[in-house]
Structure 1
Amino acid sequence: MSENEPPATENRASRFPVIRSVKTGAVIGWMRGGWHDLRRGGRASLFYGSCFAIAGWLMQIVFAEAYALFAGLTTGFLLVGPFLTLGLYDLSRQIEFGMPPRLLPTLAAWRPNLPNVGLFAALLAIVLLVWARASIIVFALFFTGGFPTFGNVVHTVLTFEQLDFALVYFAVGGFFAMFVFAISVIAVPLMFDRKTDAVTATIASLVACGRNPGPLLLWGTCIGILGIIGFATFFVGLIITMPLVGHSTWYAYRDIVAPEEDEQGAAAAA
């Protein structure tokens, strides 16, 4: 190796992955694989789901009198989900390699690539704070008599008394959700699995969305539905739905990003 040639680990971290095109039906396979890993992971997988549920209950208690902020932070759960489910990717990789799923090693899954994972987590945290602020502004625009209670919001939405509020709130929230989904759908698994730098991983995620708009739009919709189920059950459903999302995302990553040996073969052929 010459003095000007970077170390192999650096090459691996900065090498842009080969992004494959997949069919829309692949989403079914991702969820089937996710369900398989959820069952195999057992208590280790449910531990992460329980963390989501407990965090939701705690926020409900802390922000009981500030529902506008509570709504923003709670729905923002889905925005930081790609980072919080990192341990589930580790569990899926253990299962993939034929190892018994163990919870303890997954608690430090972020450490091998701490600088890049930390940078990406900071980005997601900033997006979460901006969304929480935007949520408060939307509430303030439509509820001029003061911030509503949870019951007021549910009644307003179900009776269509303020349909414009629901449309604006979900439109603004949808924008933030699509942005985070586009930059993270394969970014965090890529940083975890190959120690890829944050910039390369983010660009790869955007390329994946551009190359697979149909399948990833469907997958994003599935994530939204699973999130709604979790919230509609007062966070109890998150114990199952969030691990399912995390494990299924690992299968999406494996399906969309070509194995490294394929990349090396393509480079050699070129």
Structure 2
Amino acid sequence: MTTLHAVFHQHPSAQRLDVRRLGVHDLKVALSKGVEDFLAMPTHVLFAIAIYPIAGIVIATLTFEESLVPLLFPLASGFALVGPFAAIGLYEMSRRREQGLEATWSSAYEPLRARSAGSIFAVGFLLMTIFLAWLVAAMGLYWALYDGTTHPSVPAFVEEVLTTGRGWILILLGNLVGFAFSLAALSVSVVSIPLLVDRDVDALAAIETSIAVVRRNPGPMLLWGFIVAGLLLVGMLPLFIGLAVVLPVLGHATWHLYRRAVAP
């Protein structure tokens, strides 16, 4: 309890960080710079994020083996909720490239050994909590509509969902619930972890700054969320292999979005 209080308690000398007004142009610039970083550091980046496509395949395999087919979509989409924490190495590599420093995979996780490591893990724990809550809510919704009925395969489940009234209710309510959890995760993490990688602030100040960015830029941030979701969906389609490109690009782009959103 003392440790959690320490990482979330704001330093007495800490000042509220100023956030900027963003527009669609800023999102385009962030994505463009994310692509530039990826192309400049492809070998290191692919090494750093090789775990993500593998994790996606493992998630799918476990779902099939455990006959928890209805959780496949929440697992695949909810996995993105913890993406900002998993992209720590990408933020650090973009930061190093921006400053003209050597960016290698061995230096990518320096932030986890820095003073802000506790705060980074605190935000990561919060994101994981949101992810688990999303899984519980998704399964609860399915049980409420299907009374525990199981499906032998993904095609059978998809057919049931797309051709029945309760299936469409599941789609509608599931997407609404998922949107709520995604919005919460976006608000908490859109700039908080890049900020912790970049500056010596505590978890509470980082989260407050992230929420302030979303509150000041609701339209652009909502659009950013849809861009992230759309690109992740594209990356997942070819057996998650596309995530090996989509995830690093989004990670680097998020760093540059942070740099445009938070005043130095």
Which stretch shows the higher mean deviation, 87-96 or 13-22?
Answer: 13-22
> Which amino acid counterpart does residue 134 of structure 2 have in structure 1?
W
The verdict on how the C-alpha distance between 1:218 and 1:63 changes in structure 2, with shifts beyond 3 A counting, is same
> Which amino acid counterpart does residue 218 of structure 2 have in structure 1?
P
Match of 2:4 in 1: none
Note the C-alpha offset of 1:95: 1.2
The verdict on how the C-alpha distance between 1:95 and 1:170 changes in structure 2, with shifts beyond 3 A counting, is same
Contact 1:40 1:101 in 2 (8 A): no
* Pair 1:188 & 2:193 matched: yes
TM-score of the two chains, using structure 2 as the length reference: 0.88
Alignment of 1:190-209 (within 5 A): 190-209=195-214
How many angstroms apart in 2 are the aligned matches of 1:99 and 1:33?
17
> Which amino acid counterpart does residue 202 of structure 2 have in structure 1?
D
Match of 1:5 in 2: none
Which of 225, 233, 239 lines up with 1:228 in the alignment? 233
How many angstroms apart in 1 are the aligned matches of 2:13 and 2:44?
29
Contact 1:53 1:239 in 2 (8 A): yes
The verdict on how the C-alpha distance between 1:137 and 1:11 changes in structure 2, with shifts beyond 3 A counting, is closer
Unaligned runs of 5+ in 2: 1-9
Match of 1:262 in 2: none
Contact 1:13 1:195 in 2 (8 A): no
Match of 1:265 in 2: none
Which stretch shows the higher mean deviation, 74-83 or 45-54?
Answer: 45-54
Which of 88, 93, 97 lines up with 1:95 in the alignment? 97
Unaligned runs of 5+ in 1: 1-9, 260-270
> Which amino acid counterpart does residue 258 of structure 1 have in structure 2?
A
Aligned-residue CA RMSD (Å)? 2.0
TM-score of the two chains, using structure 1 as the length reference: 0.86
Note the C-alpha offset of 1:222: 0.3
Note the C-alpha offset of 1:144: 3.5
* Pair 1:213 & 2:223 matched: no
* Pair 1:173 & 2:178 matched: yes
Match of 1:248 in 2: 253
Match of 1:58 in 2: 58
Per-residue CA deviations over 1:101-130 (Å, capped at 9, x if unaligned) read 201111343221121111111111111111
* Pair 1:120 & 2:101 matched: no
How many angstroms apart in 2 are the aligned matches of 1:158 and 1:108?
47
Contact 1:12 1:194 in 2 (8 A): no
* Pair 1:138 & 2:130 matched: no
Note the C-alpha offset of 1:12: 10
Which stretch shows the higher mean deviation, 248-257 or 42-51?
Answer: 42-51
Per-residue CA deviations over 1:34-66 (Å, capped at 9, x if unaligned) read 000111121221224321110111122222222
How many angstroms apart in 2 are the aligned matches of 1:11 and 1:145?
49
How many angstroms apart in 1 are the aligned matches of 2:48 and 2:90?
8
Partner SS, residue 24 of structure 2: coil
Contact 2:192 2:206 in 1 (8 A): yes
* Pair 1:33 & 2:33 matched: yes
Aligned-pair identity in percent equals 29
Alignment of 1:15-26 (within 5 A): 15-26=15-26
